[in-house]
Structures are given as C-alpha cells and as structure tokens.
Amino acid sequence: MLRIFPESRVVMRGEHRLPLTRREFDLLLFFVGRPRQVFTRRQLLSAVWGHEHASERTIDVHIRRLRAKTGQPLVATVYRVGYRLHEDTVAIVIRET
C-alpha cells in the first residue's frame, strides 16, 4: 500500500519513503485521484505538465520510473490509448492538518 502526503509531497510504501521526482509525484497523485479513467499521453502532458509541447514519450519514461520505484504495476497500459491506474493499486491520500 502506498500512502501519499500531498502537502509535504511524500510517498511512503510501508516504512520506506520513495524518492520521487516532482513530475513522478504529480503523475502519481493525478492517477490516484482518477482511479478508473484512461488518459492519453497528450492528456497527461496537459494535465500534469501544464502543456503539450514536450514529447509524448516523456510520459512513458516517467511511468517506467514510477513502476520501478514503487515496486508494483501502479499504472496499467491501455493498448493504443494510454494509461490508467492499475486496478490492483492500493493507495491512500492523507491530508495533513
């Protein structure tokens, strides 16, 4: 299970803090907030990066790194469409007060 603390931008897997980059964190939080939706690379660039001018393959690189760092599938590939949060992903967002 992943615990996500958006205010401090920390992601924990068990007792271990994951060393995510700013974009990896933003991408993870975006997917967790929209668990059953499928997004194209262009939609992800627009929503997470704030523009569509970067290469769409940038998304592939960040998702590959997220999968490696979390040690779980996390993001599922939807063939010829894009990506969505993997149905087996268990993540909770913890709002700090």
pLDDT of residue 92: 95
What is the residue whose two structure tokens read 């931008």?
A: 9
Has residue 57 got a pLDDT over 90?
A: no
pTM for this model (two decimals): 0.92
pLDDT of residue 73: 85
Contact call for residues 43 and 52 (beta carbons, < 8 A): no
First-to-last alpha carbon distance for the chain, in angstroms, is: 22
**Domain 21-88 adopts which CATH fold?**
Arc Repressor Mutant, subunit A (1.10.10)
* Paired sense of beta strands 10-13 and 16-17, if any: antiparallel
Which pLDDT tens digit goes with each residue over 38-51?
Answer: 999 999 999 999 88
pLDDT of residue 96: 80
* pLDDT mean across residues, the chain: 93
Of 96, 97, 93, whose CA–CA distance to 29 is shortest? 93
For the chain, domain boundaries: 21-88
Integer Cα distance of 62 and 31 in angstroms: 13
